[in-house]
Structures are given as structure tokens and as C-alpha cells.
Chain A
Amino acid sequence: MDAGTDPSDETALVLRAQRGDQLALDALIRANQGKVRTFLAMRLHDVSLADDLAQDAFVIVCDRLHTFDPALPFFPWVRGIAHNVLRHHLRRRQAAPTGPEALAALIDGAVEERAERLGDHDHVELLRHCLGRLEGLPASTVRAHYFDGRSLAEVAADQGRSAKAVGVMLVRARSWLRDCLAMRLRAIAGGTP
């Protein structure tokens, strides 16, 4: 659970939502959507599907809320449902990977392992803070590629560099952001890595 979320508040929200309080249900979704979207995005090759699958998961959460024991922590239950939705999605597109797809599958497998170690947080929210501290050419390169939607080739043309050099720059920027994120996570965990 993220810092600042009071378990007793969450239990009260669950009880109200189970009695049919729509506002309480909305509040529960709002409080957990960031972690669910992050959980899904970290395990999806096509990140744009994360929002659709999150919506699928929450529809199931709403439908089955009456079966949930309010004495238990809420997010692990939601996470389990999201995991099932994800598994169902991945099964539908499963194929024996070869060539470049085999490499993509290898990376996906490695990402899955690492994502488990990162725990359940709204990492995007934490990342927002780190992005604000990224400066210089790495910052402008990240902005151009991710937020302005420029391809590596376009960024390379803008910067007068090769696409591969821009790729290396982005790897370094992501490495810095990963370290920043790790520091934030350690701070949340009270110094525990």
C-alpha cells in the first residue's frame, strides 16, 4: 500500500461500496487505478493496452465486490484480478516466437521478473517527480521521444546525431530515471530497498 493510504479508510470505502454506494466505488477505483495501470503496463509489450485492460479488471472488481472480505487488504485482490485479465489477454495472442519475436519474448520474460521485484506502487506518479529533475539533453531527448511522439530517427535528425546514438542517450536517461525511482521507492519503504 502506498504511503498516505489509511487502511481503515479503505475498509470503510469497501463496506460502503458493497452496500451500493457509487461514490465509494469510484473512490476505490480512483485510489487503485494508478497501481493497476502500472502493473499492467510493465507487463505489456504494447503499453497502450494497459488502460483498456485496467478498465476490464475494474469492471470485474465491481461485479465481484460482494465476494470480497473487507477485513483483507483490497489491492492484492484487485491485483489478482488484473493479473488474470492480463493472462487471458496474453493467452489470446500467444504464438511460438521466432526471430525478433523470440528476442521480444525474452525481454518480456525478464521484465516480468523485475516488475515483481519493484512491488505494487503507482510508479508513474513517482516517475513524474524524477522526470522533473532530469536536465539537459537527456531531458529534451526523453521529452521529444515519449511526449512529442518523435521517432528515434526524427530526434536524431533534429539533433544531428545517429539514431543509434539517440538510442544510447535514451538508455542512459532511463538508467538515471531508474536510479531516481529506486531512491523514491526506498524512501517510501523507510529505507528498505
Chain B
Amino acid sequence: MSDPARVQRALDLKAALDAGALDEAGRLELERALREDPGCRAAVADDALLDRLLHLHALGADGEDVVRGVRLRREADADGVRFVAAVRTRRARRRRRRTALVVGAMVAMAAGLAAAIVLGLGRGEERRAAAILVAAASSSIDGAAVTAGGGDLAIGSTLTTAASGSAEVRLADGSTITVAGGTRLRLDAPAPGPALWLDHGQITCDVRPQERDRPFVVASTFGRATVVGTRFDLAVADTMVLEVASGVVRLTDGAGAGRDVAAGGRGEVGTGAPSPQPPPAVPLPSAVWTPSAVWGEAIVRYEFRDGAGDRVADQSTRGAPLDLRVTRPGTVRWLPGTGLALSGMGGLASAAPAAKVADACQASGEIAVVVGITPDAATLSGTPKDYPKRIVGVTAGLDERGFVLGQGLFNDPSGLFDLRLRTMASTAKGKPSVVTVAAHAAPRRMTVAVTRDRTGRCAFLVDGEPVAVQTVADDTDARTSRSPPAETVVTAGAIGRWGAGMPLIVGAELAGDASGTRAWSGVLHVVAVFSRVPTAAKLRELHRDAMR
């Protein structure tokens, strides 16, 4: 029988351990009690068990998260096998039962002379961007009639089919898109997988298995469909309707709410008010800038639209302004009404320590970073040591930081976004990283937001939409150290242990090494750091605001 006083003493030591107040003598005493006294061992174990159950309860995941995660993983794994017969199967099925959908004012699909367009969408050596038109009629590309002899369909081109026409687009990986009559479809830059903008009309897609981090995306005014190898029909008229023949497609509306549509299922978005504008293919200059009031919650905020000279003012109203100055004047260029272009080794840094950022985030236990940027091709080139390229951070050089939002990893220069945040459980460099699963290699204007709340839950949003994330413990060994993709991940430890005196840096480290300053290259439009995670609605508002 255990002595109740000894059990109580063991629990008191456990409480001290939890509070980080257990000294070496206490540790040895608790170890001895656990080894020698079954009663102490049981009491401490029960306490630890309840601690874990409470943490699990607080994580807040429910059964549907597990069901959805398992489904998506299995679909992604299985589609490669299924596709081998998919084209033939689909054509046979089409003869038996046409499953295309017709909704609202959608123009009915009309038989017509098909145009087969072979194009490559992607990046790297294996997928050169190329488009070859092998047959055409009743279709036009960027307003020019397609000839029967064929032609090119380049990234950024818009394919339009006449009401009596149709077309077939064949991607280099074998995926096919059947374009119905009366359809207008734009081929956007890979982001990073094939990306289509469906202005109106109907397309039917047979999608080959995509790499998990390079999903096939079809977007419209009303929302987007994201798929990793499946077969589905999509129509846009007064709404966007998705009908899935096989696999699972994630359908997301303009407000960012998403759901999975499984084989045999049908989804519709845009039944409410549509999003006001499609995402622009190229940056749009802003004539009048009226910032959203949400920016006022930022602890630091920098607008780059109408700047000049070598200083950028902190427009936050919280604490003393933390102004930035250009570190290498020859490497930046102001683009009036648009932003600040960075190239070479240049960046910006605060002259004063970023104490107000460090203090606010460590006190609240939260952080959110929102940036409006246009990365350029140079950001996606370099040696492994050039990554991650710095967008914004609070750092003391390459080896110690409070946080840094970067792009690319040591072994993955694909354009994914990367958050390294110093916590009580992280390394001094802020590892493990939280990264976007998909790369964002398109040289287009975009908004990137990353958040971490007090429970350690991290999320990335690109253009106001949540994107899949995972942790990377060691970016030199990505094959084995990545967690499964998920909408959010939880990292350990409270935000803390940020060294004193670290400046805020934008675009590059203030001090680099022989391999450089990890300089990011592109155009900065807006950069803001928050010490409280804005709500999803506010993040979407910031995105809309940043894209104006």
C-alpha cells in the first residue's frame, strides 16, 4: 500500500514539472518514486493521461476530419491505377449515358468540329509549356480563329468555342478537357499544377493523377474545384456546378467555404452573390487605395504602392512606428501605384529592433502574417542554399529568428511557402517548418497569409483560400520528414525565446553568409504582421483589399 503522503508529494512534483519549475533534486525524487512506488506511478500516470485527453479534446478535430482525410489520401493514391483505363472507359460510358450536367442558363453542349490541342502545362524540364493545335473549327484563341491546320495555345491564352463548336484540350500528362460550345476558357500559368479559368460554358475533365502538391485547379467567378486525379464535369453560367464521375473533388465557393464532392455527387456554388471579380491574370494597377479597417489591427504594416526613396513607413497605429529602410538601394525599384520590385541581394530592414512585434506575439501567443506579393522567376532559381527566400521575418541572421515567412526549401525550390517560427519547442531557426503542400510558382500577384493560434494550430491561405499544409522537420530530407497534408497542422510550444534586438527584415536577411542573404525576388505590394489571428472573414477581406 502506498503512503498517501508520498503519492501527494509525487503529484506535487509532477505539478512542478508541468510548470517548468522542477529542479534536479525534484526530478531525481520523482524518478525514484515512479520506479519504486506503484501508487505514485499510477497517480502520476493517471494525471498525465488526463492531460493528454484534455489536449486531444482541445485540438477540436472531429470524426469528419478523419473520414475526409482518409478519403482524400486513398483517392490520391488510387487514381494512378484507375486512370490507365479511364479514357477508354469514359468514352464507352459516354455512349451509354451522358452524365454531363446542365444547370441554369448553361448553353447546351452542341456537336461540332473538335479542336484537339496538345499543350504542356507545368514547370521544369519534363513539362515544357507548349501548345499545339492539331485541328480546329468554330473556335478561337485570343480572338483569332483557329485554323484546321493547328496552332499553339500558350499560357494566358483564352480559348472560345462558338455555340455550335467544341474543342478538346489535351495536356501533356494525358489529361483531357472537352470544351463544349459557347465556352470561354483561359489557360492560366501553372500554380503549380494545371490551372484553368472557366469564364462561362462547360468543360468535362479527365484528369490524370497529379502530384499531390500540384493539384489540377479549375476556377471561376463563383469558386474553384481542386482535384488530384479524377473525372468530373464542370459548368458555369449563373452558378458553377460540379458533377463528379470518379474520385473526389474539393469544391470551394467564393467565400472560402469548401466541401468534398465524391463520385456520383454534385455540388453547386454561386447560388448567393458571386465574387465580384475573377482573379486577374496580370497585376492590376490600383487607382485609389482605401485600406480596409482590418489592417488597423496589425502590429506593423507596410504599403508599397505609392512609395519613393529608401524608407518605408510603418503605417500601423500600434506602438512606436517601426520604419523600414532599403538595405541596398541599387537593388530595389519603385513601381508607382503597384509596389516595390526587389532583385539581387536587396531588401529592407528596420533600424530599430522589432521589439513590439516580438512582445505582442509572445504575449498573445498568436501570430498572423499577411503579404501581397508578385514573385518573379528569379525567386524560383538558385542553389539549394538560397532557400527559403525571405519575404518577411524577425531575424538575427541565418541561424536565429523569431519568425520568417519564406518561399522555397533547401531541397524544394518549387515556390511553396514556408513559415519558421521560434517557439518553446522549436529550434533556434524555428524548425520544424510549416509549409504549403502545393508550390506557388506562378509569377502572378497573390496574397499569402499564414496564421498560428494559441493552440499551435497553423494554417496558410493563398488568395484568401485555405491551402493544404504540412510540417517539415528537416528540409534537407523532405522524403522522410514531412507530415501528411492537412488543412491545418499543430506545432508544439508557445511562441517564445525570441532573442532581443532582432530587426524586422523584408525581402532578404540583413546579414547573410557566403551563399548570400536568401534574397527573395519580385514585387512587394503590402506586408503586415498581426499579433492576433484575424477571423477567416477578415483574412478574406484583407486578401480582397490587397488585390485591389
Binding site for B on A (CB under 8 A): 22, 26, 29-30, 33-34, 37-38, 41-42, 44, 46-48, 50-52, 54-56, 58-59, 62-63, 99-100, 102-103, 106-107, 110-111, 113-115, 118, 123-124, 127-128, 131, 142, 146-154, 156, 162-164, 166-168, 170-171, 174-175, 177-178, 181
| A-B residue pairs, 6 tightest by C-beta | A149-B454, A167-B15, A110-B45, A48-B490, A167-B19, A174-B50
The answer to whether A106 touches B454, judged by C-beta atoms less than 8 angstroms apart, is no
The answer to whether B262 touches A22, judged by C-beta atoms less than 8 angstroms apart, is yes
The answer to whether A171 touches B57, judged by C-beta atoms less than 8 angstroms apart, is no
Which residues of chain A are near B294, meaning CB under 8 Å? none
Q: List 12 A-B contacts (CB under 8 A).
A: A30-B67, A33-B66, A102-B31, A103-B17, A113-B41, A114-B42, A149-B453, A167-B15, A168-B15, A170-B18, A171-B14, A177-B50
Which residues of chain A are near B45, meaning CB under 8 Å? 107, 110-111, 113-114
* Residue of A with least CB distance to B50: A174
Known contacts A51-B61, A118-B49, A124-B53; is A167 also within 8 Å of B18 by CB?
A: yes
Known: A62-B74, A150-B365, A175-B50. 11 other contacts (CB 8 A): A29-B70, A51-B486, A52-B483, A103-B27, A110-B48, A113-B45, A131-B57, A146-B57, A148-B454, A163-B20, A167-B14
Taking CB atoms and an 8 Å cut-off, the chain B residues in 16-72 that contact chain A are 16-21, 27, 30-31, 34-35, 41-42, 44-59, 61, 63-67, 69-71
Which residues of chain B are near A118, meaning CB under 8 Å? 49
| Cα(A147)–Cα(B381), bound, Å | 43
Which residues of chain A are near B492, meaning CB under 8 Å? 46, 48
The answer to whether B53 touches A123, judged by C-beta atoms less than 8 angstroms apart, is yes
Chain A min CB distance to B494 (Å)? 5
Which residues of chain A are near B388, meaning CB under 8 Å? none
| Cα(A37)–Cα(B55), bound, Å | 12
B35 in complex: contacting residue of A47, A106, A164, CB < 8 Å? A106
Chain A min CB distance to B41 (Å)? 5
* Residue of A with least CB distance to B65: A51
The answer to whether B486 touches A52, judged by C-beta atoms less than 8 angstroms apart, is yes
The answer to whether A58 touches B49, judged by C-beta atoms less than 8 angstroms apart, is no
| Cα(A131)–Cα(B215), bound, Å | 42
The answer to whether B483 touches A151, judged by C-beta atoms less than 8 angstroms apart, is no
* Residue of B with least CB distance to A45: B52
Which residues of chain A are near B27, meaning CB under 8 Å? 99-100, 103
The answer to whether A164 touches B15, judged by C-beta atoms less than 8 angstroms apart, is yes
B53 in complex: contacting residue of A41, A48, A113, CB < 8 Å? A41
Binding site for A on B (CB under 8 A): 11-12, 14-21, 27, 30-31, 34-35, 41-42, 44-59, 61, 63-67, 69-71, 73-74, 77, 262-263, 365, 453-456, 483-484, 486, 489-492, 494
B30 in complex: contacting residue of A41, A103, A154, CB < 8 Å? A103
The answer to whether A167 touches B16, judged by C-beta atoms less than 8 angstroms apart, is yes
The answer to whether B54 touches A142, judged by C-beta atoms less than 8 angstroms apart, is yes
The answer to whether B69 touches A55, judged by C-beta atoms less than 8 angstroms apart, is yes
* Residue of B with least CB distance to A43: B52
Chain A min CB distance to B366 (Å)? 8
* Residue of A with least CB distance to B31: A103
A59 in complex: contacting residue of B34, B49, B73, CB < 8 Å? B73
Which residues of chain A are near B20, meaning CB under 8 Å? 152-153, 163
Chain B contact residues: over half helix, strand or loop, or mixed? Answer: helix
* Residue of B with least CB distance to A157: B363
The answer to whether B49 touches A55, judged by C-beta atoms less than 8 angstroms apart, is no
Known contacts A55-B70, A110-B42; is A167 also within 8 Å of B21 by CB?
A: yes
The answer to whether A58 touches B70, judged by C-beta atoms less than 8 angstroms apart, is yes
A128 in complex: contacting residue of B55, B57, B63, CB < 8 Å? B57
Which residues of chain B are near A131, meaning CB under 8 Å? 57
B71 in complex: contacting residue of A26, A111, A164, A174, CB < 8 Å? A26
The answer to whether B70 touches A41, judged by C-beta atoms less than 8 angstroms apart, is no
Chain B min CB distance to A140 (Å)? 14
| Cα(A147)–Cα(B58), bound, Å | 5
* Residue of A with least CB distance to B66: A33
Chain A min CB distance to B75 (Å)? 10
The answer to whether A166 touches B19, judged by C-beta atoms less than 8 angstroms apart, is yes
Known contacts A30-B63, A34-B63, A59-B74; is A178 also within 8 Å of B57 by CB?
A: no
| Cα(A18)–Cα(B74), bound, Å | 15
Known contacts A113-B45, A149-B365; is A174 also within 8 Å of B51 by CB?
A: yes
| Cα(A174)–Cα(B50), bound, Å | 6
| Cα(A174)–Cα(B46), bound, Å | 9
The answer to whether B74 touches A114, judged by C-beta atoms less than 8 angstroms apart, is no
The answer to whether B49 touches A152, judged by C-beta atoms less than 8 angstroms apart, is no
B49 in complex: contacting residue of A114, A146, A150, A168, CB < 8 Å? A114
| Cα(A83)–Cα(B484), bound, Å | 18
A124 in complex: contacting residue of B11, B56, B455, B490, CB < 8 Å? B56
| Cα(A37)–Cα(B64), bound, Å | 13
Which residues of chain B are near A178, meaning CB under 8 Å? 46-47, 49-50
The answer to whether A154 touches B63, judged by C-beta atoms less than 8 angstroms apart, is no
* Residue of B with least CB distance to A124: B57
Known contacts A55-B70, A110-B41; is A127 also within 8 Å of B54 by CB?
A: yes
The answer to whether A111 touches B49, judged by C-beta atoms less than 8 angstroms apart, is yes
Chain A min CB distance to B438 (Å)? 19
Which residues of chain A are near B52, meaning CB under 8 Å? 41-42, 44, 47, 111
* Residue of A with least CB distance to B14: A171
| Cα(A51)–Cα(B358), bound, Å | 31
Which residues of chain B are near A113, meaning CB under 8 Å? 41, 45
Chain B min CB distance to A44 (Å)? 7
Chain A min CB distance to B37 (Å)? 11
| Cα(A55)–Cα(B68), bound, Å | 9
Which residues of chain A are near B70, meaning CB under 8 Å? 29, 55, 58-59, 62
Which residues of chain A are near B50, meaning CB under 8 Å? 174-175, 177-178, 181
* Residue of A with least CB distance to B69: A55
Q: Which of B56, B57, B454 neighbours the largest number of chain A CB atoms within 10 Å of its CB? A: B56
Known contacts A124-B56, A127-B53, A127-B54; is A111 also within 8 Å of B63 by CB?
A: no
| Cα(A80)–Cα(B365), bound, Å | 38
Which residues of chain A are near B15, meaning CB under 8 Å? 164, 167-168, 170-171
| Cα(A68)–Cα(B217), bound, Å | 37
The answer to whether A171 touches B47, judged by C-beta atoms less than 8 angstroms apart, is yes
Which residues of chain A are near B14, meaning CB under 8 Å? 167, 171
The answer to whether B44 touches A107, judged by C-beta atoms less than 8 angstroms apart, is yes
Known contacts A33-B67, A59-B70, A111-B52; is A52 also within 8 Å of B484 by CB?
A: yes
Chain A min CB distance to B65 (Å)? 7
Which residues of chain B are near A164, meaning CB under 8 Å? 15-16, 19, 21
Chain A min CB distance to B544 (Å)? 29
| Cα(A147)–Cα(B453), bound, Å | 11
Chain A min CB distance to B255 (Å)? 26
| Cα(A123)–Cα(B454), bound, Å | 24
